[in-house]
Chain A
Amino acid sequence: MSLRTVPRARGGVGESAPRIDGVPKVTGAFSFATDLWAEGMLWGHTVRSPHPHARILSIDITKTLATPGVHTVLLAGDIPGKKTFGLEFADQPVLAWDRVRYAGEPVAILAATDPETARRAAGMVVVTYEILPAATDMEQALHAGAPQVHEFGNVLRHIRIVHGDPDAPAEVWVEGYYETGMQDQAMLGPEAGLAVPSEDGGVDLYVATQWLHVDRQQVAPCLGLPHDKVRLHLAGVGGAFGAREDVSMHIHACLLALRTRKPVKMAYGREESFFGHVHRHPSRIWMRHGAAGDGALRAVRARILVDGGAYTSSSSAVIGNASTFATGPYRVPNALIEGTCVYTNNPPCGAMRGFGAVQACFAYEAQMDKLARALGRDPVDLRVQNALSTGSVLATGQVVRGSAPVQEVIARCAAVPLPAGIRQPPSAGRWAPGDCLSFPGGAGNVSRGESLRRGVGFAVGWKNIAYSEGFDDSSEARVRLVAAPSGAIAEVVTAAAEVGQGIHTILAQIVRTELGVGTVIVHPPDTQVGSAGSSSASRQTMMSGGAVQAACAAVREILMDRARCRAETEGRPVSADFRAEEGQILAGHTLVGPIVQFLDEPIEATRVYHHRPTTPLDVAGRGRRGHRPRVGAGGPDRHGPGCRAGPEPPERLRPDRGGDRPGPGAGPHGGNPTQGWTHQERVVHRLPDPDNSRHAVGAGDARGGAGAGRAVWGEGGGGALDSRVDGGHRRRATRCHGLRTQPGPGSARRPDRSRPSGRHGGAAAIA
């Protein structure tokens, strides 16, 4: 055979490949969830509570039902199956029945012939509420007398991370209190979907989402249907950013479709969209950073409080993130971090890009700037000096095993040239109105450069990829190589949600590189194939890419076997390295033949990819190192047509979080974070005295400290771990300790060592 140099697969990994969904998106042909339409479809509409906290006394739908064009009105009592749903706990009512816990909570749904009829009819639903006091402030929610959002108390999760010696001294301390507000993903595509009832009594839901399978896991039980009767299909997603991690209109549309036996479309308007999904947690963060005189960080102490709103969503993971990332990407030998998430009657918070790590970043980077000022150091240099690297130990005890190019990232950002200087007004004095565009305010014409100062902000952050704390994450993919008139083509079957991030294009690139085939078809994702996990936490390239790569490897192995067999029968050497490139199979430098020649029967493989395991946090907030990634077969490899669906995602979506509702012990793990706040903190956080505060004046601690004072952590002495059994779910408990600041020498108050108080574990005395 002739010698040929074959170029790499075009459009493969490492190239700037065109988006496979690009042309439909620029021509308007791409169908987003809001664009769906079906013959005879009805429009669904939601009636929501205007009150943040109220008891529902009655719901009168007679006028609504009598309205022409209204096909059905459903209340909680009409739900055939489970009445609640939720990502971590199924604590959120599909429709509220006795209480509403946030303004915007759904109370009733209806289906009508068109949106205007639906709106008018919705206005005729009469709900009688008894308004209850609402917990709207996250600190207020911690007080003993605060309105209880759920009967088991307002603490959703409390975490305590102890690293090294929490009392380690430092030469310089800086302290700061930081707040971040609630934010919204505001993805341009509002919530939307179309539910179509099917002949078999099931339903097909076309919906824009981030994770088809976890949606189905929540939808099917509410409909009282088995999973195989609830088929979810990915509709075009107009952005997500976390807003589509939770169920929004999914169950509602399916209920309406099943009741009316007609397709039902639900699409939120922009205002309703703000009610319809979770938001980023507002936070209040108090931090103390201690450093040696040469700038090396000695200790970080942080207390983080976030407002989870009315229902759990993914809040326990968010506060987990905020807490485990609270030190920043720096080498910190000693740390004490406490993170608390509370329930309030504010709108529920959950996943939004950054997922807790963002709020912490704002605080710790502000702290680094403060520290730099206190040390008289350049803020960028200080960060470089303390940057994490491979081998560093994190506050959770985790050792960084992979690459950690924090120093390089900082150095590269610092090396970016600063923007060009400020544009000066023309010296001749004639100011043209268009000149204002280059100044702050733009066309608002508020400045010709007066008092204008420009600076460059600098911050570095870190975040996990994929899920944490022992979550058994995986993704399944099926790859099929078939012969077509034009040559070999590859098909990818995945449930991975394309939300704009380009995962489908990436999967095609991976297939092109792995199989040397140019034409790759990515099938529209649905629940017929196993779970790909969520399009979130920056995980899809790793997980679904990993699954596709593994499936490709399996397909390639079979392909090469066929090629070797052929080569053998033709009397050619088979020891050379066989590979596939640009539609051809090569052995060494010899061309064996086009791939399509070996596809008399298609080749198919399904693989499930797991990353190396992580572990939950223990009582001191420590995790353990993980192991190598696992790849499992998701079903028998097929050399012919047909396939089998792979495994479902684990029942427990998060570690240690089984069950429908968190029990009384689930939140604080036996601790009570309202205790242990110092007087100073109470002032800063505007907390009242807790019931069992003690103002102890005593010998106190002889250790002094430079600057404003040093933190002294109360300890629980020999306080017992509180371990309760509730509803069959055992919760591990941690002690909760307060963060106290000892005033500097000369102050009248002296700290006291904390003592455990009762069964709630350690509770620091108040200085």
Chain B
Amino acid sequence: MDVLLPRTLHEALAMKADHPDVVPIAGGTDLMVDLNFDRRRPSSLMDVSRLRDLGEWRREDGHLFLGAGVTYTRIVEELGAFPPLVQASRTVGSPQIRNRATVGGNLGTASPAGDALPVLAAYGADVVLQSARGARTLPWAQFLTGPKRNALGPDELILGVRWRIARGAGSFSKVGPRNAMVIAVASLCLILDEERREVRVALGSVGPTILRAHEAETRVARAIVDAGVWDDPVRELPPQAVETFAAGVAAAAQPIDDVRGTASYRRHACGILARRALAWALADRRAGSGPARPR
């Protein structure tokens, strides 16, 4: 086994072009487990954990670019303007893991249980890929292609993700058997987009990849219009509309039975989380301009 230690992104891309089989390692929180337990033996590894270009985030043109190498701890500390992303980041593993793990890892591993992924999906994030040949940007739906499968080319690295900054309340929730260190049994991110008057919901761990609930989203967005809630946050959405939304989100899930939970429980959980997340978003709108910054 070889280990390559590029000093710059440019070097890393050249190495990747020369060694398509090389497996990049940043936080190592997925890959090292496979190495330690003899589940994988890549012929070579490439350390990308120190590449400065991957470790940046910036606002540009009303968008947020988040580098693949930014750790979850840094997201929690530095990206408080994006509460659902902070909430998701805070659920990742433990402090030791958050200090190393990255969004790039969630994308690279492409597991439907990746905690940041429902948030990025709800943000409508694009994925920015880079190779020695140049950069390309893939819409979200084209990047995650199946369970633990993505559209990354053999000579490409994930540079980061980029999403249009939308104003509006939202949250992320994750169901698991304990309060930390869990792989999601079911997870959900809900975003209200005030400008577009959209509701976006993304589900994790309940399908082969991250799922949206387009039908439920559209219907509830219209119900919010009908109830005059977009214009007047103090107005209430009729309970029936909330229930219909919850049922619609649950119906959009495609869960299976596995060691972490049953399909029926997961579907049930999606409905509950959807109902709560919507209620919270509307309540937070009512109380002010969304939830307070995290402590």
Report which A residues bind B (CB closer than 8 A). Answer: 119, 269, 271, 428-434, 436, 440-448, 450
Q: Can you name 27 A-B pairs with beta carbons within 8 Å? A: A269-B37, A429-B283, A429-B284, A430-B284, A430-B288, A432-B291, A432-B295, A433-B83, A433-B86, A433-B87, A433-B294, A434-B294, A436-B87, A440-B179, A442-B180, A443-B90, A443-B91, A444-B176, A444-B179, A444-B182, A445-B87, A445-B171, A445-B172, A445-B173, A445-B174, A446-B173, A446-B276
In the complex, per-residue mask of B262-295: 1 if CB is within 8 Å of any chain A CB, else 0: 0000000000010010001001101110011111
A119 cross-chain contacts in B, Cβ below 8 A: 38
Assess whether B227 is interfacial by the CB under 8 Å rule.
no
Question: What is the predominant secondary structure among interface residues of chain B facing chain A?
Answer: mixed
Assess whether B51 is interfacial by the CB under 8 Å rule.
no
B276 touches which of A430, A433, A443, A450 (Cβ 8 Å): A450
Once bound together, how far apart are the Cα atoms of A436 and B90, in whole Å?
11
Nearest Cβ in chain A — how far from B35, in angstroms? 10
Would B173 and A444 count as touching, CB distance under 8 A? Answer: yes
Once bound together, how far apart are the Cα atoms of A433 and B284, in whole Å?
11
Would B292 and A431 count as touching, CB distance under 8 A? Answer: yes
Nearest Cβ in chain B — how far from A192, in angstroms? 16
| Chain B residue at minimum C-beta to C-beta distance from A431 | B291
Q: Which 8 A-B pairs have the closest CB atoms?
A: A442-B179, A429-B287, A434-B295, A433-B294, A444-B174, A432-B292, A443-B90, A445-B173
B293 cross-chain contacts in A, Cβ below 8 A: 432-433
Once bound together, how far apart are the Cα atoms of A428 and B286, in whole Å?
10
Question: What is the predominant secondary structure among interface residues of chain A facing chain B?
Answer: loop
Once bound together, how far apart are the Cα atoms of A597 and B294, in whole Å?
69
Once bound together, how far apart are the Cα atoms of A444 and B177, in whole Å?
10
Would A441 and B175 count as touching, CB distance under 8 A? Answer: yes
| Chain B residue at minimum C-beta to C-beta distance from A270 | B37
Nearest Cβ in chain B — how far from A646, in angstroms? 44
Once bound together, how far apart are the Cα atoms of A430 and B174, in whole Å?
21
Assess whether B36 is interfacial by the CB under 8 Å rule.
yes
A434 cross-chain contacts in B, Cβ below 8 A: 294-295
A445 cross-chain contacts in B, Cβ below 8 A: 87, 91, 171-174
A431 cross-chain contacts in B, Cβ below 8 A: 280, 283-284, 287, 291-292
Would A448 and B276 count as touching, CB distance under 8 A? Answer: yes
Nearest Cβ in chain A — how far from B39, in angstroms? 10
Would A428 and B176 count as touching, CB distance under 8 A? Answer: no
Once bound together, how far apart are the Cα atoms of A434 and B76, in whole Å?
11
Once bound together, how far apart are the Cα atoms of A252 and B86, in whole Å?
50
Nearest Cβ in chain B — how far from A493, in angstroms? 40
Would A447 and B276 count as touching, CB distance under 8 A? Answer: yes
Would B273 and A446 count as touching, CB distance under 8 A? Answer: yes
| Chain A residue at minimum C-beta to C-beta distance from B284 | A431
B90 cross-chain contacts in A, Cβ below 8 A: 433, 443
| Chain B residue at minimum C-beta to C-beta distance from A447 | B276
| Chain B residue at minimum C-beta to C-beta distance from A428 | B287
Once bound together, how far apart are the Cα atoms of A447 and B284, in whole Å?
14
> With A433-B83, A433-B294, A444-B182 given, can you name 8 additional A-B contacts, CB distance below 8 Å?
A429-B288, A430-B288, A433-B87, A433-B292, A433-B293, A434-B294, A444-B173, A444-B179
Would B280 and A448 count as touching, CB distance under 8 A? Answer: yes
Nearest Cβ in chain B — how far from A620, in angstroms? 44
| Chain B residue at minimum C-beta to C-beta distance from A122 | B38
A447 cross-chain contacts in B, Cβ below 8 A: 276
B284 cross-chain contacts in A, Cβ below 8 A: 429-431
Once bound together, how far apart are the Cα atoms of A269 and B33, in whole Å?
12
B36 cross-chain contacts in A, Cβ below 8 A: 269
A430 cross-chain contacts in B, Cβ below 8 A: 284, 287-288, 291-292
Most chain A CB atoms below 10 A, which of B36, B173, B175, B293:
B173
A432 cross-chain contacts in B, Cβ below 8 A: 291-295
B176 cross-chain contacts in A, Cβ below 8 A: 441, 444
Would B174 and A433 count as touching, CB distance under 8 A? Answer: no
Once bound together, how far apart are the Cα atoms of A441 and B283, in whole Å?
20
Once bound together, how far apart are the Cα atoms of A430 and B293, in whole Å?
10
Would B276 and A444 count as touching, CB distance under 8 A? Answer: no
Once bound together, how far apart are the Cα atoms of A347 and B174, in whole Å?
33
Instruction: State which residues 68-117 of B face A: CB under 8 Å.
Output: 83, 86-87, 90-91
Once bound together, how far apart are the Cα atoms of A701 and B203, in whole Å?
60
Take A269-B36, A269-B37, A431-B280 as given contacts and tell me if A441 and B287 are in contact as well, using a CB distance cutoff of 8 Å.
no
Nearest Cβ in chain B — how far from A221, in angstroms? 33
B91 touches which of A271, A429, A444 (Cβ 8 Å): A444
B179 cross-chain contacts in A, Cβ below 8 A: 440-444
Instruction: State which residues 172-224 of B face A: CB under 8 Å.
Output: 172-176, 179-180, 182
B287 cross-chain contacts in A, Cβ below 8 A: 428-431
Would A271 and B37 count as touching, CB distance under 8 A? Answer: yes
B280 cross-chain contacts in A, Cβ below 8 A: 431, 448
Instruction: State which residues 111-165 of B face A: CB under 8 Å.
Output: none
Nearest Cβ in chain A — how far from B59, in angstroms? 21
Once bound together, how far apart are the Cα atoms of A432 and B291, in whole Å?
6
Would B295 and A433 count as touching, CB distance under 8 A? Answer: yes
Once bound together, how far apart are the Cα atoms of A429 and B287, in whole Å?
5
A271 cross-chain contacts in B, Cβ below 8 A: 37
Nearest Cβ in chain B — how far from A122, in angstroms? 9
Once bound together, how far apart are the Cα atoms of A431 and B295, in whole Å?
11
B182 cross-chain contacts in A, Cβ below 8 A: 444
Nearest Cβ in chain A — how far from B222, in angstroms? 25
Once bound together, how far apart are the Cα atoms of A642 and B280, in whole Å?
77
In the complex, per-residue mask of B41-82: 1 if CB is within 8 Å of any chain A CB, else 0: 000000000000000000000000000000000000000000
Nearest Cβ in chain A — how far from B179, in angstroms? 3
A450 cross-chain contacts in B, Cβ below 8 A: 276
Take A429-B283, A430-B288, A433-B83 as given contacts and tell me if A446 and B38 are in contact as well, using a CB distance cutoff of 8 Å.
no
Most chain A CB atoms below 10 A, which of B91, B176, B179, B280:
B179
| Chain B residue at minimum C-beta to C-beta distance from A116 | B38
Once bound together, how far apart are the Cα atoms of A428 and B176, in whole Å?
29
| Chain A residue at minimum C-beta to C-beta distance from B115 | A444
Once bound together, how far apart are the Cα atoms of A445 and B182, in whole Å?
13
B91 cross-chain contacts in A, Cβ below 8 A: 443-445
Once bound together, how far apart are the Cα atoms of A450 and B292, in whole Å?
20
Nearest Cβ in chain A — how far from B70, in angstroms? 19
In the complex, per-residue mask of B241-276: 1 if CB is within 8 Å of any chain A CB, else 0: 000000000000000000000000000000001001
A441 cross-chain contacts in B, Cβ below 8 A: 173-176, 179
Once bound together, how far apart are the Cα atoms of A440 and B172, in whole Å?
15
Nearest Cβ in chain B — how far from A609, in angstroms? 43
Nearest Cβ in chain A — how far from B281, in angstroms? 11
B172 cross-chain contacts in A, Cβ below 8 A: 445
Most chain B CB atoms below 10 A, which of A428, A443, A444:
A444
Nearest Cβ in chain A — how far from B287, in angstroms? 3
| Chain A residue at minimum C-beta to C-beta distance from B187 | A444
Once bound together, how far apart are the Cα atoms of A428 and B180, in whole Å?
29
Once bound together, how far apart are the Cα atoms of A436 and B292, in whole Å?
13
